[in-house]
Structure 1
Amino acid sequence: MAKKKPLILVTNDDGITAPGIRALIEVMNTLGDVCVVAPDSPQSGMGHAITINDTLYCDTVKVREKEPQQEYSSSGTPVDCVKLAVNEILKRKPDLCVSGVNHGSNSSINVIYSGTMSAAVEAGTLGIPSIGFSLLDYSLEADFEPTKKFIKTIAEETLKNGLPKGVVLNVNIPKLPASKLKGIKVCRQANAHWEEQFDKRVNPLGREYYWLTGEFVNEDKGEDTDEWALANGFVSVVPVQFDLTAHHAIQDLNTWKLS
């Protein structure tokens, strides 16, 4: 009896036609049966947003005729896409969920804003081994070819070994030629932040508006962080937990006079 192929859910936050997701689909088609459920338009920076005050649409599409996977384009957020896939579209729970490949970094503090990673985290909360992939190149003309062997290796190992309960993987890949990529490093998240600024302007009708800008500041000098790995030519893999409890703070809080 032939072994059943893994069922792989693919999603993203850049939209179903983005080059990054097309590269990810190509790799996943070598590993299993693929179903794509992704936003119909860019949803970057949506974090873990879900649609609760509007209707959700989800339509069958075919972006590239010769590719074998099922594809659905949704009006919702990346997290909506995962929920729709698991609850409405797929006949069984996926063996793996992959999100991306994001156009731009999701390392360090960026993980909490990322629609790419939130889709992976949502799948993780449902007990599905999940990975978010990002390339440190924001261009629509970004070259995803060097990412493919690393994506395949990490996805294969995840299918083979599974992940600890409550953990998903945040994978970031430097913008480098394949010959310059040194390998994969398992890391911790760097202690970094954005120093935000708002560019204040006035529209032709006289109403003020703002563009968010800012500078990324890495305060972490450790050589075991994702930022160090990326700066030194390595693919970073950070295990991310979606239990946000600050367990180390519970003992201190219990000394407060709260009752």
Structure 2
Amino acid sequence: MNKPLIFITNDDGIHAPGLRALIGVMKQLGDVLVVAPDKPMSGMGHAVTITSPLRVNKLKEEPGHIEYSCNGTPADCVKLGQKAILGRNPDLIVSGINHGSNSSVNVIYSGTMAAVLEGAMENIPSIGFSLNDYSFHADFSKCEPYILSIAGNVLEKGLPEYTCLNVNIPAVNGSPIKGIKIVRQAMAFWDEKFEHRKDPHERDYFWLTGVFRNRDEGLDTDEWALKNNYVSVVPVHFDLTSHKTIPLLRDWETGNLN
């Protein structure tokens, strides 16, 4: 029987340990095609390249495993990989393993999740994986059984159309992971500030800093799951409509005002 074809990308770059870990796990489930940025692209969100050429460089080719680096963003990698390199839909798109959490509002800024949202827009089952540890040398070994379980379920059962998964794994540092929770995105935000600094030539510049604040006390959120040593799984789609607000604004509707 033909193996599933799994498309892999990330936003930390082609050489990131998290990507290497994800490739190793996915090779247990199918053949892999990797198209990942040639440099870190964290925080790029859903940016795409439209003012300069995209280039790819084949780094590896062996049975069941092909790798390319790309000078574009994570979303570029998915678009280019699907439409130019592969020429067909893969059976699954996975992105990560991200070095750091993409829970709550971080999903908006995440290049990791932009890649899987791009897959969802093409109605391809897609999953973003993140480990709540920002270290380049983070231990990804405890992620493997949970990634295998979640990806295996998606390959077997699929996902609702135009839906992807945002999976965040706690860095428990000696404490056991308790399991997997299907949850919602927490209403949490960054309280941001810009530090005003001077460079060695006495020119002004600004450095973004901030504190992450969780104002959501729900027991069904990704933040609660991570805090309590659970892997959080949030179903995500790209429809940003506030559906519950539409009926509240109906009386604003009008005919021609000219």
Category of TM-score, reference length = shorter chain? over 0.9
Question: Which SS does the other structure have where 1:180 is aligned?
Answer: coil
User: Using the alignment, how far apart are the partners of 2:199 and 2:113 within structure 1?
Assistant: 34
1:74 aligns with 2:70: yes
User: Using the alignment, how far apart are the partners of 1:225 and 1:257 within structure 2?
Assistant: 35
Q: Which residue of 2 aligns with 1:86?
A: 82
Question: Which SS does the other structure have where 2:135 is aligned?
Answer: coil
Q: Which residue of 1 aligns with 2:225?
A: 229
Q: Kindly report which structure 2 residues correspond to 1:92-171, keeping only aligned pairs within 5 A, or say none.
A: 92-171=88-167
Task: Say if 1:178 and 1:238 are closer, same or farther in 2 by CA, change over 3 A.
Answer: farther
**2:212 alignment partner, one of 212, 216, 226:** 216
User: Using the alignment, how far apart are the partners of 2:64 and 2:45 within structure 1?
Assistant: 30
Letter in 2 for 1:142: A
**Aligned 8 A contact 2:122 2:162 in 1:** no
By how many angstroms is 1:250 displaced? 1.5
Letter in 2 for 1:8: I
Q: Which residue of 2 aligns with 1:24?
A: 22
User: Using the alignment, how far apart are the partners of 1:185 and 1:116 within structure 2?
Assistant: 20
% identity of equivalent residues: 59
> In angstroms, what is the RMSD of aligned CA positions?
1.5
**Aligned 8 A contact 1:146 1:177 in 2:** no
1:41 aligns with 2:32: no
Letter in 2 for 1:108: S
User: Using the alignment, how far apart are the partners of 2:29 and 2:63 within structure 1?
Assistant: 14
User: Using the alignment, how far apart are the partners of 1:160 and 1:77 within structure 2?
Assistant: 29
Cα deviation digits, residues 179-237 of structure 1 (max 9, x gap): 61000000001110000011111112222111110000000111111100100010000
Q: Which residue of 1 aligns with 2:9?
A: 11
User: Using the alignment, how far apart are the partners of 1:194 and 1:9 within structure 2?
Assistant: 32
User: Using the alignment, how far apart are the partners of 1:247 and 1:175 within structure 2?
Assistant: 35
Cα deviation digits, residues 221-259 of structure 1 (max 9, x gap): 111111001000100000011111111111222211554
* Structure 1, 198-207 or 119-128: larger mean CA deviation: 198-207
Cα deviation digits, residues 79-135 of structure 1 (max 9, x gap): 000000111111421000000000000000100000000001001101110000000
Letter in 2 for 1:22: R
- Aligned residue-pair number: 255
Letter in 2 for 1:203: D
Give the alignment's TM-score, normalised by structure 2: 0.95
* Structure 1, 75-84 or 197-206: larger mean CA deviation: 197-206
User: Using the alignment, how far apart are the partners of 1:119 and 1:9 within structure 2?
Assistant: 11
Cα deviation digits, residues 28-48 of structure 1 (max 9, x gap): 001001000000000000000
User: Using the alignment, how far apart are the partners of 2:169 and 2:63 within structure 1?
Assistant: 25
Q: Which residue of 1 aligns with 2:48?
A: 50
Structure 2 gaps of 5+ residues are none
**Aligned 8 A contact 1:134 1:173 in 2:** yes
**Aligned 8 A contact 2:10 2:98 in 1:** yes
User: Using the alignment, how far apart are the partners of 1:137 and 1:27 within structure 2?
Assistant: 19
